[in-house]
Homo-oligomer: A and B are copies of this chain.
Amino acid sequence: MPYVNIRITDEGVTKEQKQTLIKGATDLLVEVLGKNPATTVVVIDEVNTDNWGIAGKQVTELRKK
């Protein structure tokens, strides 16, 4: 029954990479906590680099350096 939300910057993640993240997160919950994969939900949010900040700076600007 777990719900996993993965939030990352929107920088060319492929459909196959997303599938690997979904499978990996689901397997983790099954292996560590014995959760039922049938009701394990994984949602990936891709966020524009203008909208993501760390250390007070936009990732868009950090990427230029």
Residues of A within 8 A of B (CB): 1-9, 13, 15, 17-29, 32-33, 35, 37-47, 50-61
Q: What's the minimum C-beta distance from A55 to chain B, rounded to whole angstroms?
A: 5
CB contacts (< 8 Å) of A20 on chain B: these are 32
CB contacts (< 8 Å) of A5 on chain B: these are 4-5, 7
Asked whether B1 lies within 8 Å of A3 as measured between CB atoms, the reply is: no
Which 5 residue pairs across A and B have the least CB separation, nearest first? A22-B53, A26-B56, A42-B53, A44-B51, A24-B28
CB contacts (< 8 Å) of A25 on chain B: these are 4, 25, 28, 53
A29 to B34, CA, bound (A): 21
Asked whether A29 lies within 8 Å of B8 as measured between CB atoms, the reply is: yes
